[in-house]
């Protein structure tokens, strides 16, 4: 197989996993199931459970090492240290949502600039910390245990439900799919020939961030419901947000820190709003 053929094979594989994941998610919105989820679960727990399960099942079926795809709890103390270091700039970047109209191009453009600033800020803050090349890794399928039963949400209150959703479903769901499976798979064929603040990276980070942004463009898109609305402004700033989480994944070699940083600030904010 030539190098070009290898690239095409990987891109088709990534497209397949992405497409199947979202076909399942879109199918969950059909009237009967969609109405039940809205009434009982109130939040898209099942959709994000699919984001965790689909790439994980694919890795199991293809007998791949979970640690090679960033799904590892090895060196947990190190990952938590990275979270503590990066938490403030990531959390502060969420504050403008209270003041900006991020559903307009001007607001989305400003958010993109903020995310780019966060990228440089955390890269500088992490510059003296060890990188993934200096850390051991071990497969940890137990990351799926973060999927706490969504049926507990209504029982323990809206605030707790919000916290569980963002921390245990949204953060891990998007990070396992994008920074775990997709970015890692693309890195295998595109390599990581460049360096940014001492961290190796390649086109896998950029392409994954583009796909991540495109997912947000499709947030209201659902062919099963006849909804073909595309929200390009949403994809703009989330592309840069993807670069932030992608860099942290390359720095740490795991999706643990990106998943926590992705979900925890939103979990705290939305839980507070539900009080």
Mean pLDDT (whole number) for 106-134: 92
Domain that holds residue 250: 3-273
Distances (CA, A) of 166 to 42, 144, 160: 13, 15, 10
pTM score, whole prediction: 0.90
Phi, psi of 112 (to 5 degrees): -60, -40
Q: pLDDT of 194-204, one tens digit each?
A: 999 999 999 99
Beta strands 194-196 and 199-201: pairing type?
Answer: antiparallel
Backbone angles phi, psi at 6, to 5 degrees: -65, -40
Q: What is the pLDDT of residue 144?
A: 41
Q: How confident is the model at residue 156 (pLDDT cuts 50, 70, 90)?
A: low
Q: At 148, give phi and psi (nearest 5°).
A: -65, 140
For residue 89, pLDDT over 50 is answered with yes
Angle separating helix axes 45-61 and 3-27, nearest 10 degrees: 150
Q: For 55-77, write each residue's pLDDT tens digit.
A: 999 999 999 999 999 998 889 99
Structure tokens given for 26: 């879109």
In angstroms, the CA 89 to CA 247 distance is 14
- The pLDDT assigned to 134 comes to 56
Please state, in angstroms and rounded to a whole number, the distance separating the CA atoms of residues 230 and 266: 24
Structural domains in the chain (count)? 1
Q: Give the model's confidence band at 180: pLDDT under 50 very low, under 70 low, under 90 confident, else very high.
A: very high
pLDDT surpasses 80 at 138:
no
How many of the other CB atoms lie within 10 Å of CB of 178? 26
């Amino acid at each position: 197989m030539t190098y070009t053929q290898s690239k095409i094979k990987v891109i088709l594989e990534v497209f397949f996993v992405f497409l199947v994941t979202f076909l399942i998610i879109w199918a969950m919105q059909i009237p009967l199931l969609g109405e039940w989820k809205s009434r009982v679960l109130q939040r898209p727990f099942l959709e994000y459970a699919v984001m965790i399960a689909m790439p994980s099942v694919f890795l199991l079926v293809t007998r791949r090492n979970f640690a090679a795809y960033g799904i590892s709890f090895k060196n947990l103390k190190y990952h938590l240290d990275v979270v503590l270091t990066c938490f403030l700039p990531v959390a502060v970047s969420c504050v403008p949502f209270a003041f900006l109209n991020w559903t307009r191009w001007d607001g989305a453009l400003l958010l993109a600039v903020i995310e780019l600033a966060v990228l440089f800020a955390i890269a500088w803050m992490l510059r003296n910390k060890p990188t993934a090349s200096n850390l051991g890794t071990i497969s940890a399928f137990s990351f799926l245990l973060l999927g706490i039963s969504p049926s507990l949400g209504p029982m323990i209150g809206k605030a707790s439900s919000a916290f569980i959703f963002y921390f245990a479903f949204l953060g891990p769901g998007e990070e396992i799919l994008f920074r775990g499976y997709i970015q890692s798979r693309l890195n295998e064929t595109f390599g990581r020939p460049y360096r940014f603040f001492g961290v190796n990276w390649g086109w896998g980070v950029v392409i994954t961030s583009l796909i991540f942004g495109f997912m947000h463009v499709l947030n209201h898109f659902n062919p099963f419901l006849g909804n073909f609305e595309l929200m390009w402004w949403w994809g703009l700033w989330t592309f840069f947000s993807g670069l932030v989480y992608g860099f942290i994944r390359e720095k740490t070699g795991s999706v643990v820190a990106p998943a926590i940083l992705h979900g925890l600030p939103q979990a705290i904010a939305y839980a507070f709003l539900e009080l």
